[in-house]
Chains A and B, each alone.
Chain A
Amino acid sequence: MLLAKLREAWICLKAGRVTLPYPFAPHDPAEGFRGKITLDPDLCFGCGGCANVCPAGVIVVNDTGQHTRLLEFFWRRCTYCGRCEEVCPEGAITLSQQFETATDKPEDMYMRLEVFMGPCQRCGRCFTPPTPLERMMLTGFRNGNGGRA
């Protein structure tokens, strides 16, 4: 009985203080951590694959007018699974190391991206060309840094 108490005391004494000074000192997550999503607007070509796979349904795609596709990220409901990053053909979405996202303003957790698209000659709606290569060859699209592909 006494021996047990002594052993317990020894465990505590040996451990000492282990609490980290976080949040007053930074505590960086491990490499490969899945944090807040970041967007590279130059790479996105509006395929909407991210919206298709998002389990929480935080990505909404709408065509506004003939030339713009609007991608809205209501990421306060984001579950940080990283599926969008996985399926993005252009690497336009990445999950950062940022985890301190707490805010009392929900507007802070909203991003929108307007992508310039080509309208379909027949129906007038925006469309995504089949491949990045074909996209680059079409007129009316921004040229240059059209993705890593």
Chain B
Amino acid sequence: MVTIAQAAANRTVDLVRERVGAMLVAATQPHSDTLRLQVDKRVVRAAAGVLADELGARFMITTGIDRRELGGGFGIVHLFSLDREHLFVLLDCAVAADDEHIDSITPVVPGANWAEREFRDSVGVHPDGHPDPRRLLLADDWPDGVWPLRRDVAYNLQPPPADDMRPPLREPPTGASVVTMGPFFPVLEEPSQWRLFVEGETIVGCDYRGFYNHRGIEKLGDSVLTYNQIPYLAERICGICGFIHSTCYCQAVEKAAGIEVPRRARYIRTLMLELERIHSHLLWLGIAGHIVGFDTLLMQTWRIREPVMWLSEEISGNRKTYGMNTIGGLRRDLSPDLGRKVLDVLEEVERESLAVRDAIVGDGTLMARTKDVGVLTNQTARSVCVVGPPARASGVPIDARVDHPYAAYDEVPVRIAVHQEGDTWARVLVRVEELLESIRLVREALAAMPEGPVLTEVKEEIPPGRVGVSVVEAPRGEAVHMVETGGDNRPYRWRVRAPTYPNLQAMPTMVANNTIADVPIALGSLDPCFSCTERVEAVDVTTRRVTVYTRQDLLRISRSAAVTP
């Protein structure tokens, strides 16, 4: 029997071969749901156009790989997803080491904008014909010509800062003034700089500068850590979706190495992923309320959320950064007592969430701040390749749990929430519906939970040169991890794409024609996740005195001491 994915793979290969002919060097299928097309770099734009326009594939991410030590040049791998057909398509182009140029695909796939700027910054392959070729993720004082993700650059390299430190700013349209928001802005706890171009109160465009806390996690993964150490780093990519990233990484390696995960482990992963969605959506609802000045909502949703955190602590040993995932399954099992407790806690959470939902759906104040604010049209959502609740609130019915089932989602099907309006209010509704759906999914997963082991022991070395693509539907959208296995017990390349990455690229169109006051909630409605930790408050329990350690204090304490390995 030919599966849907297989039929789609055959059709894709035929169509691409028809359009680019012999420039399609090879077409292989490393896994039943992954198609790898090796094309000549001269036809990359044409091939991307075939995938995006003719086959309706959704662009996910690009990976730049330095393959020089394997005897090649650079590899630029564009990853697409045929959602309905449950198929990943890798468009793999070899770029010679002495000709570091490739055609940009952004003119035909607008969603590839950041991804192409990123591989230029990290491996130094230039996307020719890119409409906005400014620096994206490197720091302003990072010197030109040092490409951090090349294999010959050490992970701890500290090059001397460049002299010219001015960030490349975009010129505002004629007649518009610039209002700068950030890098530090009261309602957004994390650093991101938005330069809003305004005419009067109305926004006509904006420019983004972020990546202030770029931590070089991918570099650590393929040069310092080993396969089984990376899950603990992966779950620190995001403070809220930690389990999502560690699951996504483990699944990618498991897929690449062909490791079968026990069924019980897949169910427990599903359960934990949904618990994470429940507490994340409650957290987001509170933050959204906080941004529009409705702090009662913040207090109450966070109160409802707290028992879920305590529950996670009991299951995993910590309220966040669960440390449960490992290659091949899980490190902790779920006891029957805890299973019953999950049901008790969720019953309470469901009752309280319903009360909050019933209260806020009629709240005119909240609606006035969110209806018709930050509208993302269906067309833009598709072209920028937005994922997660923002996509579903704009009528794009994509959800990794349905499109690329992982963990136990093939046995515990998900009903996805879709709204058509595309405004902030629709995004509120989508998340509230998802919250209730997640509670149902946890119950289903618990009811159907099979007995058995939770870990497949990996006895043999993971073979090099394999590729694995994995997606996990995080509360913010779909997280993508791609692993190319290597020697030395670590990946040759580990690529991470968090959901905020595509979603932030939709901001310029979302805030256009809105007022400045609407920007925070429009941005907040994406549930953005940057990264930041900059101050600590200490309470002396005997004197009740509060001391605040600033960033400078923290740096002094952590750097001056000699006790560091």
A interface residues, Cβ below 8 angstroms from B: 1, 3-5, 7-8, 11-12, 15, 18, 23-24, 29-34, 53-58, 60, 72, 74, 76-77, 79-83, 86, 95, 102, 104, 106-107, 109-110
Shortest Cβ distance from A110 into B: residue: B563
Q: How far is it, in angstroms, between the C-alpha of A9 and the C-alpha of B467 when the chains are bound?
A: 54
Shortest Cβ distance from B312 into A: residue: A30
Residues A55 and B225 in contact, CB atoms below 8 Å apart: yes
Instruction: Say how far A70's CB is from chain B's closest CB, in angstroms.
Output: 12
Q: How far is it, in angstroms, between the C-alpha of A57 and the C-alpha of B557 when the chains are bound?
A: 20
Q: How far is it, in angstroms, between the C-alpha of A95 and the C-alpha of B317 when the chains are bound?
A: 10
CB of B150 closer than 8 Å to a CB of A: no
Residues B363 and A57 in contact, CB atoms below 8 Å apart: no
Shortest Cβ distance from B355 into A: residue: A11
- Contact of A81 (CB < 8 Å), options: B303, B323, B564: B323
Given contacts A7-B355, A32-B332, A34-B323, 15 further A-B contacts (CB under 8 A): A4-B359, A4-B360, A7-B362, A15-B300, A23-B541, A24-B541, A29-B313, A33-B313, A53-B229, A55-B232, A77-B564, A80-B318, A81-B232, A83-B232, A110-B563
CB of B565 closer than 8 Å to a CB of A: yes
Please give, as numbers and ranges, the residues of chain B lying within 8 Å of A57 by CB-CB distance. 224, 565
- When each residue 282-320 of chain B gets 1 if its CB lies under 8 Å from chain A and 0 otherwise, what string results? 000000000000001101100100100010011001100
Q: How far is it, in angstroms, between the C-alpha of A9 and the C-alpha of B77 when the chains are bound?
A: 54
Knowing A1-B364, A5-B363, A24-B541 are in contact, say whether A30-B310 is a contact too (CB < 8 A).
Answer: yes
Shortest Cβ distance from B544 into A: residue: A24
- Contact of B303 (CB < 8 Å), options: A18, A30, A107: A18
CB of B558 closer than 8 Å to a CB of A: yes
Residues B363 and A4 in contact, CB atoms below 8 Å apart: yes
The 8 lowest CB-CB distance pairs between A and B, nearest first, are A7-B359, A106-B561, A55-B229, A4-B362, A34-B317, A30-B314, A4-B363, A55-B232
CB of B109 closer than 8 Å to a CB of A: no
Residues B356 and A1 in contact, CB atoms below 8 Å apart: no
Q: How far is it, in angstroms, between the C-alpha of A102 and the C-alpha of B544 when the chains are bound?
A: 16
Please give, as numbers and ranges, the residues of chain A lying within 8 Å of B359 by CB-CB distance. 4, 7-8, 11
CB of B358 closer than 8 Å to a CB of A: yes
Q: How far is it, in angstroms, between the C-alpha of A4 and the C-alpha of B232 when the chains are bound?
A: 43
Q: How far is it, in angstroms, between the C-alpha of A33 and the C-alpha of B359 when the chains are bound?
A: 36
Residues A106 and B565 in contact, CB atoms below 8 Å apart: no
CB of B331 closer than 8 Å to a CB of A: yes
Shortest Cβ distance from A30 into B: residue: B314
Q: How far is it, in angstroms, between the C-alpha of A5 and the C-alpha of B303 when the chains are bound?
A: 19
Instruction: Say how far B103's CB is from chain A's closest CB, in angstroms.
Output: 39
Instruction: Say how far B185's CB is from chain A's closest CB, in angstroms.
Output: 27
With an 8 Å Cβ cutoff, the count of chain B residues facing the other chain is: 44
- Contact of A1 (CB < 8 Å), options: B236, B362, B544: B362
Please give, as numbers and ranges, the residues of chain B lying within 8 Å of A104 by CB-CB distance. 538, 549, 557
Please give, as numbers and ranges, the residues of chain B lying within 8 Å of A107 by CB-CB distance. 561, 563
CB of B321 closer than 8 Å to a CB of A: yes
Residues A32 and B317 in contact, CB atoms below 8 Å apart: yes
**Which chain B residues numbered 326 to 382 have a C-beta less than 8 Å away from chain A?**
331-332, 352, 355-356, 358-364
Judged by DSSP, the binding face of A is loop
CB of B445 closer than 8 Å to a CB of A: no
Shortest Cβ distance from A102 into B: residue: B538
Q: How far is it, in angstroms, between the C-alpha of A12 and the C-alpha of B360 when the chains are bound?
A: 13
CB of B228 closer than 8 Å to a CB of A: yes
Instruction: Say how far B292's CB is from chain A's closest CB, in angstroms.
Output: 14
Please give, as numbers and ranges, the residues of chain A lying within 8 Å of B225 by CB-CB distance. 55
Knowing A33-B318, A34-B318 are in contact, say whether A86-B300 is a contact too (CB < 8 A).
Answer: no
Residues B557 and A106 in contact, CB atoms below 8 Å apart: yes
Instruction: Say how far B109's CB is from chain A's closest CB, in angstroms.
Output: 36
Residues B300 and A11 in contact, CB atoms below 8 Å apart: yes
CB of B539 closer than 8 Å to a CB of A: yes
CB of B233 closer than 8 Å to a CB of A: yes
Please give, as numbers and ranges, the residues of chain A lying within 8 Å of B358 by CB-CB distance. 7
- When each residue 97-116 of chain B gets 1 if its CB lies under 8 Å from chain A and 0 otherwise, what string results? 00000000000000000000
Query: Could you say which of A12, A24, A30, A33 has the most chain B C-beta atoms within 10 Å of its C-beta?
Result: A30
Please give, as numbers and ranges, the residues of chain B lying within 8 Å of A83 by CB-CB distance. 228-229, 232
- Contact of A4 (CB < 8 Å), options: B352, B364, B544, B549: B364
Please give, as numbers and ranges, the residues of chain B lying within 8 Å of A8 by CB-CB distance. 296-297, 300, 359-360, 363
Instruction: Say how far A45's CB is from chain B's closest CB, in angstroms.
Output: 22
- Contact of A55 (CB < 8 Å), options: B233, B318, B362, B557: B233
Please give, as numbers and ranges, the residues of chain B lying within 8 Å of A58 by CB-CB distance. 565
Instruction: Say how far B383's CB is from chain A's closest CB, in angstroms.
Output: 37
Shortest Cβ distance from A14 into B: residue: B355
Residues B317 and A82 in contact, CB atoms below 8 Å apart: yes
Q: How far is it, in angstroms, between the C-alpha of A119 and the C-alpha of B561 when the chains are bound?
A: 34
Instruction: Say how far B319's CB is from chain A's closest CB, in angstroms.
Output: 9
Instruction: Say how far B312's CB is from chain A's closest CB, in angstroms.
Output: 10
Shortest Cβ distance from B311 into A: residue: A30
Residues B313 and A30 in contact, CB atoms below 8 Å apart: yes
Q: How far is it, in angstroms, between the C-alpha of A30 and the C-alpha of B316 when the chains are bound?
A: 10
Shortest Cβ distance from B220 into A: residue: A55
Residues A12 and B323 in contact, CB atoms below 8 Å apart: no
Please give, as numbers and ranges, the residues of chain A lying within 8 Å of B323 by CB-CB distance. 34, 79-82
Q: How far is it, in angstroms, between the C-alpha of A18 and the C-alpha of B352 when the chains are bound?
A: 14
Instruction: Say how far A28's CB is from chain B's closest CB, in angstroms.
Output: 11
Shortest Cβ distance from A15 into B: residue: B303
Instruction: Say how far B285's CB is from chain A's closest CB, in angstroms.
Output: 13
Instruction: Say how far A41's CB is from chain B's closest CB, in angstroms.
Output: 19
Q: How far is it, in angstroms, between the C-alpha of A102 and the C-alpha of B558 when the chains are bound?
A: 13
Q: How far is it, in angstroms, between the C-alpha of A4 and the C-alpha of B352 when the chains are bound?
A: 15
Q: How far is it, in angstroms, between the C-alpha of A82 and the C-alpha of B324 when the chains are bound?
A: 10
Please give, as numbers and ranges, the residues of chain B lying within 8 Å of A3 by CB-CB distance. 362
- Contact of B564 (CB < 8 Å), options: A7, A31, A34, A74: A74
Could you list 18 A-B pairs, sorted by A, with CB under 8 Å? A1-B363, A8-B359, A8-B363, A11-B355, A12-B299, A15-B303, A18-B303, A30-B313, A31-B314, A53-B229, A55-B232, A55-B233, A74-B563, A77-B564, A77-B565, A83-B232, A104-B549, A104-B557
Shortest Cβ distance from A72 into B: residue: B565
